[in-house]
Structures are given as C-alpha cells and as structure tokens.
C-alpha cells in the first residue's frame, strides 16, 4: 500500500475536485455507499488477500469519497456566522488574528487593515450569537492608535459582503477571503482596544516597527515593496509595479512565498556546509530557520504552506533518503488540503504547488539535457526556470492567460537582487543598532530601485510574453501526462511514441481552438454596471458596453482592467470587431480604456453614429431613443438587437420607461428571447407594456451585490415574476452565458 501512496493522495484530491466542480455532495445515499465500500473492504481483506489491486481500487474509492465529504464540510457556513449581518450597522468585539497592515493615509494618520475573529456582536445594543472572520479597514490618527496582533478590539461600523466578481477563469477576492475564513468586511474610524494581545502583540510590535522604519525612510512605493517582500501582503504595492512583475513572471517575489522560504533555508544550509556541518544537521537547522522566518512574518498563510513543503523536502535529507523528495511534496500537499480543502482553489497555492512539482519531477532530466551544451551554473538556472514554467503552464494559462519569455532574464538578474534585499532586510529588522539599521535600509532601498528599474525594462521588451488561452480540464490532464512520460527513461521507440503523442495533442489542441463554435452571448459580472460579450461561430467578438466604476486614483480598482479584459483573454478574445457603448455613463463606458489597452479594438460605436452590421450571419441592429426626461446626451440610449435565425437578444443599457414607450410607439422590432433589463432593475425601467412587447424567455439583470441604489427594485422583480420570462441576475448567478443550441438557447450561469 505504501507503493500506492501518491495514488491515494491523488484520489483524495480527485474527491475534492468532484465536490468543488462537479457539485457532488455527501448525502445519505453516499454515506450508505461508504459503508458498503467499507464492508467490501473487510471482505476483501479476509478473502482476497493476494489480489492487492482489488484492495487498492476499493481503498481509492473510499479515499475519493472522503475528499468529497471533506470539501462539503469545509464550505459549510455556520448559522451564526457574522456574514448574516452584512449590510447592517453593528458593534463588534473581535480578536485580531494577524499583524495589521498599514500605509500613510492621504489626510494624515494611518490606514490599517487586519483580519479578526468575531467574538460578540451587538445589533441596536442587543447581543447576537456570532462567529467567523471579518476583514477590517480602519483609519487611526497616530502610531499609538494602531491595533496589535492578538488584541481584542471593539469596532463600530457597517458590515458588508466582500467584493466579488463571479466569472469563469477569474479568482474572486471574496473566494480568497473565504479560504482564510473571512466572510465579511468592515470600514471604521471608531476602534477601541479591550484586551491586550500578550506575546502576539510583542511580535506585532516588532514587525510594525520594522514596517514603520521602511515607511519613514523610503519613498512610499519602495516601502510598500520592501514590506511586502519581507512580511507578506502585496495590497499596498502600486499597481504598475505588480503588473510589470507579473509581465516578467516573477510577481510571486513581491510577497512572502516559497521563493523567500527557500532562499532563507538554502542560505542557512549553505552556511552550515561552509562551517563543516553535516548535510543532515544543516538541513535540520534550515528547517528550524524556515519556521523562525514564518514566525517573524506573522504566520502568513503563504509562508506556512511554503515552509511546510520546504520542510518535508529537507526532511528527506535529514533521514538520508533524498529519493523521497517527491513523496514528501505529495505529503505536504495532502496536509495542506486536509487542514483547509479550500486551498484547492487558491491561486498562490496552485501556482506554487505546480511549479514545485515541475522542479521535483523534471529538473534532473532537463538539467542533464542543458548541461551537455552549457556551463553547469547556466544549465541549472535555465533548467530551473524551464521546468517551473512547464509545471505551472496550465494554471498560468487559466489565471493569467500567458507565460513570460523574459522570466529567465528576470530570474537571473532581478531575483538575485531581491534575494539580497530580503537577507539585508531581515538583518535590519533583527539588529538593534540604529546606524546599522539605517545603512541596511539605505542599501535595501537602492537595491529595490535597481530591481524595479531593471524589471520594468524587461517587462517592456516586445514579445516578452506569450498569450495562452485557458485549457480545458482534459487538455490540462493530458498535458501533465505527456510531460511525465517525456521525463521517463524510455527506449528509443517508446520515446518516439511519446513525442508523437505530444505532437498529436498539440495538433488536436490547435484544431479544437480553430473549429467553429456555437453563437454565444456572455453577460459578464461587472458589479453595478454592464458588459455583454457576443462571440460568433467563427470566433469574431463584439463587446456591448464595457463596465466600469468611478476611480479615485490610478491605484483604484479598475473593472475594465481587472474584470472585463481578463474575461476576454480567458475566452481567447484578443481582438474585438467592435465595442458598442450604449451611453457614456461610467458604469457602461468606464472600462473601455483598459479593454482597448489589453486587446485590439477595430472600432467603437456610440450613440449618434451607429450603423447596422452583420458578422458570421449574426445581425447587430441599433436603435437610438431618449431614455428619460432629460435632453442630456447621456440619456440618448443606443439599443442593440442581436439576432441569428430564430434566436435574438435585446441589450437595453439604462433604457427608461419613456424610451420603452418610444420604441413601442415607433413599432421598432424589439421582440427577443433574451432581454437585458434596463437600468439594472431600476423602478424607472421595465414597464409591463415593454415586457409584453418583447416577450422574452429570459430576463437578465446586470447588477452589483448590495449596491447603494437598491437595484433591482421590488416592483421590477414583481413585473418580471408576473411575466413568462425566467429571471437571471449577475449578483446571484455571476456571469451568465447563453449558447445557441439549434433554435433554442442553452443557459450556463456561473453559479446555479
């Protein structure tokens, strides 16, 4: 059974996948099945001792079901969870469970953020039962007011659901927080300490002093990068720096990750070897040092995961069995997913795990290949980069739509500078001498400036990044299978067979991508706004509105950049035949600049200058009407009717009742299978007469969760309810995809 160790862990992960993406749940039927399998297992142990493969199959089935059960247990939100009070003003008593992050506030003082475990909650002075995690954003006046790790604090404010955009191929911030046990957020300027935090507070104060030293002695953006590298958290790092490091494929080094843990452990291991310590004791000291770094980093989740994986790898050296490094990595993955199955969808965990497994399984073979023609040091760096990129390629394609071609140069030039800054920074944080600390901060600052400058130049090199469309599950699985076979020591004829299989796979993939598809209409979840993507059978694309939100600064969240553009790239859209803007309100047109920067836009169609066109047999017909009472140009709404054969959809923007009556009066063809409800479900739109004229089978409301306008209104929901249309909402269903199926639409909401 020990020989099948990896298969059992894989079976557990398959169970998690079946529950997470196949919606398989544990119920009485499944429990009965588990008992039945257990009975069969007992019989097998008694009667079929020599047929171990039968026993293995039974055990694997039980382990798969265990994975299903574990996932379903992990996603349960308790009845008294704090999230049930989202949207309400509360008084909350909570214990801070991480070292708070901070930056200088624009109007003075500090903006502080931290997660906390709710202990007591009061609604209008009445205590309610509650539990769960809250992410708190607070503004404090002085350093003395900054809360500390482990403290119990009293917070006054309004609870809100975490920001979430539920679209295919996009990691949701709400999902990321849920993985950390956080289900609500709160912004406050009223925060009071109730109980001190003990030794945790000491750890927090030590780290806060180190962070403040950087904030007070470095430019803001350099300090943010410095603190992110040393202690984790990239929230405060300027967006352009994150984008440039993402472009060069080394964005992970901006926050505590496996790279940092590995560097610290490797440095200690190397020093032990220099001083004549045996490999076993050097590895043991490296393990202890890695966990000491985790302690000083404040037990950041990414650091804990990375230290666990590094520890198991080093443990193989301690027990003189370096051949078990692969098994150690499997075991660390199992422990991480047993503790928190939600890590299965954590982007950082998936990228770190896939890259690490790429190194563990493929480094030796690739290094030997490169070492034949290159110096050993160069061969090592090149092999390390290639196998890491090969390991994470499907996930890079899914989450980032590409891999970096300049990552080798970035790893060779930029990463070593960051590594030196990390070591100097840790030395600065530990050494109490002010003059030494100042010198270390000075060197770190100029080291980071050089690293950022060099990385920026690499990021701007033409062709530095390859676009990759997201792979389907079967494409990703076959990719890894072929990758594994390619590294096996096979006979020449079998190796030729593997190469041939890889070539066939690539050809099938290219054919798959280029084959005609069905007409699709995507209502993207952009929050309180609208963006609708039409993909024709031959992969032409038209975007109807682009989403958007009001940005207070260049660092504010940009829906076009963070939601719409990644959505287009995820579905292989690198060129838009047209972008149609219904009107100039920011929630419909604000995402256009970011979309235009990310993909090629052939033309932009706005109200006042719209001409009908046809692509691949799909008609786009425009009608301009005055939406409301105002004569403002923004009230001139451009209505789009998309049709192909018997199928049709009507996209209405912020169409109001006056515009609806005008369309009916002018006898404009507005009947449609799919109706985008006007103005996000505002009470000034979607009259009963309009619904009767359109006669939709589906009514789609593009609307933001917990929006301040109260959309969609009860009166509109009632009108839709009295019609024959099936209602779908982006705030509930996430992205809603309609796919032509003969003369019918097949609907695929992201959330059922």
Structure-derived torsion over alpha carbons of residues 269, 272, 276, 282, reported in degrees to the nearest 10:
-60
CB 146 within 8 A of CB 208: yes
Measuring CA to CA, which residue among 563, 392, 569 is closest to residue 469? 569
What are the pLDDT digits (tens) for 568-603? Answer: 988 889 899 999 999 989 999 999 999 999 899 999
CA–CA dist 453, 411 (Å, integer): 14
Which pTM does this prediction carry?
A: 0.80
**pLDDT of residue 553 exceeding 60:** no
Q: What is the pLDDT of residue 2?
A: 45
Least Cα distance to 389 among 495, 499, 479 occurs for 479
- DSSP per-residue letters across 637-678: EEEEEEEETTEEEEE-TT--HHHHHHHHHTT-----SEEE-G
Which one is predicted more confidently, 441 or 402?
Answer: 441
Reading phi first (left if > 0) and then psi (alpha if -120 to 50, else beta), residue 6 is in: alpha
Per the CB < 8 A criterion, the answer to whether 171 and 335 are in contact is: no
pLDDT at 17 over 80: yes
Q: Report residue 23 as tokens.
A: 């919606």
> Tens of pLDDT along 467-476?
777 777 777 8
Q: What letter does residue 725 receive in the DSSP assignment? A: P
Range with lowest mean pLDDT among 17-26, 602-611, 628-637 = 628-637
Report pLDDT digits (tens) over 452-463.
Answer: 999 999 888 887
Helices (H), 170-238: 173-179, 199-217, 220-231
Q: Cα separation of 396 and 248, whole Å?
A: 12
- 403-443, pLDDT tens digit by residue? 777 877 887 788 888 878 888 887 887 777 778 888 888 99
Calculate ∠ Cα 545-548-549, nearest 5°: 150
Q: Which of 86-100, 317-331, 524-538, 683-697 has the lowest mean pLDDT?
A: 317-331
What residues does 468 pair with on adjacent strands? none
Phi, psi of 97 (to 5 degrees): -115, 20
């Amino acid at each position: 059974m020990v020989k099948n160790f990896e298969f059992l862990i894989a079976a557990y992960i398959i169970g998690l996948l079946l529950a997470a993406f196949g919606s398989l749940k544990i119920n009485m039927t499944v429990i009965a099945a588990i008992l039945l399998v257990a009975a069969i297992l007992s019989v097998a142990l008694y009667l079929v001792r020599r047929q171990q493969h039968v026993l293995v199959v039974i055990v694997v089935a039980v382990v798969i079901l265990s994975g299903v059960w574990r996932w379903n247990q992990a996603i349960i939100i308790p009845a008294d969870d704090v999230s049930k009070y989202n949207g309400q003003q509360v008084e909350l008593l909570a214990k801070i469970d991480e070292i708070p992050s901070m930056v200088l506030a624009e109007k003075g003082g500090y903006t502080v953020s931290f997660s906390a475990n709710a202990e007591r909650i009061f609604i209008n002075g009445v205590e309610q039962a509650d539990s769960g995690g809250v992410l708190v954003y607070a503004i404090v006046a002085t350093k003395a007011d900054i809360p500390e790790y482990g403290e119990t604090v009293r917070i006054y404010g309004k609870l809100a659901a975490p920001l979430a955009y539920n679209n295919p191929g996009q990691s949701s911030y709400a999902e990321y927080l849920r993985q950390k046990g956080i289900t609500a957020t709160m912004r406050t300027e009223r925060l009071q300490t109730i109980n001190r935090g003990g030794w945790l507070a000491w750890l927090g104060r030590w780290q806060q002093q180190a962070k403040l030293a950087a904030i007070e002695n470095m430019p803001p953006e350099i300090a943010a990068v410095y603190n992110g590298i040393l202690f984790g958290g990239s929230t405060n790092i300027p967006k352009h720096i994150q984008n440039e490091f993402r472009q060069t494929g080394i964005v992970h080094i901006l926050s505590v990750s496996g790279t940092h843990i590995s560097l610290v452990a490797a440095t200690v291991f190397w020093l032990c070897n220099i001083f004549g310590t045996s490999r076993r004791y050097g590895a043991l000291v490296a393990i202890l040092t890695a966990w000491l770094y985790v302690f000083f980093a404040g037990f950041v989740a990414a650091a804990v995961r990375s230290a666990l994986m590094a520890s198991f790898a080093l443990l193989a050296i301690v027990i003189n069995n370096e051949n078990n490094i692969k098994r150690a990595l499997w075991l660390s993955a199992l422990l991480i997913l047993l503790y928190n199955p939600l890590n299965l969808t954590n982007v950082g965990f998936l990228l770190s795990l896939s890259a690490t497994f790429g190194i563990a399984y493929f480094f030796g073979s690739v290094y030997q290949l490169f070492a034949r023609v290159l110096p050993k040091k160069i061969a090592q760096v090149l092999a390390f980069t290639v196998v890491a990129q090969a390991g994470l390629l499907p996930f890079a394609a899914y989450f980032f739509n590409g891999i970096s071609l300049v990552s080798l140069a970035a790893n060779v030039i930029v990463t070593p500078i960051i590594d030196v800054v990390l070591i100097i920074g840790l030395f600065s944080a530990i050494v109490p001498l002010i003059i030494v600390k100042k010198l270390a901060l000075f060197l770190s600052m100029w080291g980071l400036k050089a690293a950022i400058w060099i990385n920026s130049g690499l990021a701007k090199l033409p062709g530095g990044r390859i676009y990759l469309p997201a792979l389907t599950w079967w494409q990703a699985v076959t990719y890894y299978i072929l990758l594994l076979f390619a590294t096996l020591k096979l006979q020449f004829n079998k190796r030729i067979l593997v190469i041939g299989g890889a070539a066939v796979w690539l050809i099938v993939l290219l054919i798959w991508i280029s084959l005609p598809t069905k007409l699709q209409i995507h209502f993207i979840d952009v929050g309180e706004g609208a963006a609708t993507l039409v993909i024709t059978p031959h992969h032409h694309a038209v975007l109807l509105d682009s989403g958007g939100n009001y940005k207070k600064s260049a660092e504010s969240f940009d829906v076009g950049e963070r939601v719409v553009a990644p959505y287009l790239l995820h579905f292989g859209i690198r060129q838009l035949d047209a972008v149609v803007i219904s009107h100039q309100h920011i929630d419909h047109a604000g995402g256009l600049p970011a979309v235009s920067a990310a993909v090629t836009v052939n033309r932009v169609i706005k109200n006042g200058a719209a001409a009908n066109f046809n692509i691949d047999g799909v008609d786009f017909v425009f009608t301009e009407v005055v939406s409301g009472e105002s004569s403002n140009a923004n009230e001139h709404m451009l209505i789009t009717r998309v049709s192909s054969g018997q199928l049709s959809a009507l996209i209405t923007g912020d169409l109001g009742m006056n515009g609806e009556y005008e369309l009916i009066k002018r006898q404009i063809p507005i009947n449609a299978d799919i109706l985008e409800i006007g103005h996000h479900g505002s009470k000034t739109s979607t009259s009963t007469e309009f619904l009767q004229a359109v006669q939709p089978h589906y009514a789609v409301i593009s609307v933001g969760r917990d929006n301040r306008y109260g959309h969609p209104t009860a009166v509109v929901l009632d009108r839709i309810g009295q019609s024959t249309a099936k209602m779908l909402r982006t705030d509930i269903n996430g992205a809603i995809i309609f796919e032509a199926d003969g003369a019918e639409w097949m609907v695929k909401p992201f959330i059922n």
